[in-house]
């Protein structure tokens, strides 16, 4: 299946060619947005980078915002798919959160152009907020919150508000991503280790200490 849910083997030659052109356009646009920002990138620049005419570019996309939105949705879908794939239901819930975080940060390392582009637009918030799929964000938030809730019910971590814990993970993640882009002092994959070390592991340790005190040991 491709990223639109279609089986490439069942696409006609014309449809496969069109899909390939769209992917080339999105790749060209991502690099330009990363280097020049949204406002500093024109449709002519995207066409030149993709080695097609502006007229042909408009056959694939309505405009720059349409391209922007598809890039954001494509990467969001990829990251969520990788996170879900890494989250083995047989694992304890906290370990599933760890594996989700590691999968996402590995993807960020492999797609640095997209991350720089995304973070630069996050600073302005306007275009990023307009293109973000709010339902997808809410689903991801709910999935992490449910894992925290399960961990609490299992007695793996203290009884804290799962939504607050999820907000802490999201806030720390966004802040660390921006810091990596700005300072370049570590790789994105190290973000997962920071969240584990500063948020997840202390929760587990607190619960172990509570159990120790309850047992009088």
Residues 178 and 76 in one domain: yes
Q: Which domain covers residue 82, as residue numbers?
A: 68-214
Domain count across the chain:
2
pLDDT at 122: 61
Spatial separation of the C-alpha atoms in residues 3 and 118, rounded to whole Å: 20
Residues 53 and 73 in one domain: no
Question: Does 87 share its domain with 156?
Answer: yes
Considering the domain architecture, whether residues 49 and 146 belong to the same structural domain is answered as: no
**Same domain membership, residue 210 and residue 138:** yes
Q: 139 and 37, same structural domain?
A: no
Residues 77 and 142 occupy one common structural domain: yes
Q: The domain spanning residue 51 has which CATH number?
A: 1.10.10.60
The pTM score is 0.78
Q: What pLDDT shows up at residue 60?
A: 94
Distance separating alpha carbons of residues 111 and 98, to the nearest angstrom:
20
* Whether residue 9 is found in the same domain as residue 44: yes
Domain boundary, last residue among 27, 61, 95: 61
Pair (73, 52) in one structural domain? no
- 162 and 210 in a single domain? The answer is yes
Instruction: Decide which of 32, 61, 90 is a domain's last residue.
Output: 61
| Mean pLDDT of each 10-residue bin along the chain, 217 residues long | 50 81 91 88 95 94 92 87 92 97 93 81 50 66 96 97 96 90 85 96 96 81
pLDDT of residue 10: 66
143-202 tens-digit pLDDT = 999 999 999 999 999 999 999 999 999 999 988 988 888 887 788 999 999 999 999 999
What per-residue confidence (pLDDT) applies to 186? 81
Q: How many CB atoms lie within 10 A of CB 90?
A: 6
Shared domain check, 179 and 92: yes
Distance CA(79)–CA(169), nearest Å, equals 16
User: In terms of domains, do 39 and 138 share one?
Assistant: no
User: pLDDT value at position 9?
Assistant: 54
Residue that terminates a domain, selected from 61, 80, 107: 61
Q: Which residues of 10-46 are buried (b: 16+ CB within 10 A; e: fewer)?
A: eeeeeeeeebebbeebbebbbbbbbeebbeebeeebb
State CA 41 to chain mean position distance.
23
- For residues 167 and 145, the answer to whether their CB atoms sit within 8 Å is no
CATH number reported for the structural domain that contains residue 93 in this entry: 1.10.357.10
The pLDDT value recorded for residue 1 is: 36
């Amino acid at each position: 299946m491709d990223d639109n849910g279609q089986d490439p083997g069942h696409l006609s030659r014309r449809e496969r060619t069109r899909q390939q052109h769209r992917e080339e356009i999105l790749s060209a646009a991502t690099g330009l947005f990363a280097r020049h920002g949204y406002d500093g990138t024109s449709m002519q620049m995207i066409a030149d980078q993709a080695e097609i005419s502006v007229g042909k570019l408009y056959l694939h996309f309505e405009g720059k915002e349409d391209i922007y939105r598809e890039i954001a949705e494509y990467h969001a879908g990829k990251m969520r798919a990788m996170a879900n794939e890494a989250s083995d239901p047989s694992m304890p819930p906290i370990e599933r959160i760890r594996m989700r975080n590691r999968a996402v940060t590995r993807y960020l390392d492999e797609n640095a152009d997209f991350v720089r582009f995304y973070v630069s637009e996050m600073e302005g918030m306007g275009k990023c907020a307009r293109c973000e799929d709010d339902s997808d964000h809410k689903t991801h938030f709910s999935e992490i919150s449910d894992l925290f809730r399960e961990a609490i019910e299992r007695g793996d971590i203290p009884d804290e508000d799962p939504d607050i814990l999820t907000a802490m993970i999201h806030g720390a993640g966004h802040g660390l991503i921006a810091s990596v882009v700005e300072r370049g002092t570590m790789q994105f994959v190290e973000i997962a280790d920071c969240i584990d070390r500063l948020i997840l592991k202390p929760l587990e340790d607190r619960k172990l200490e509570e159990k120790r005190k309850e047992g009088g040991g």
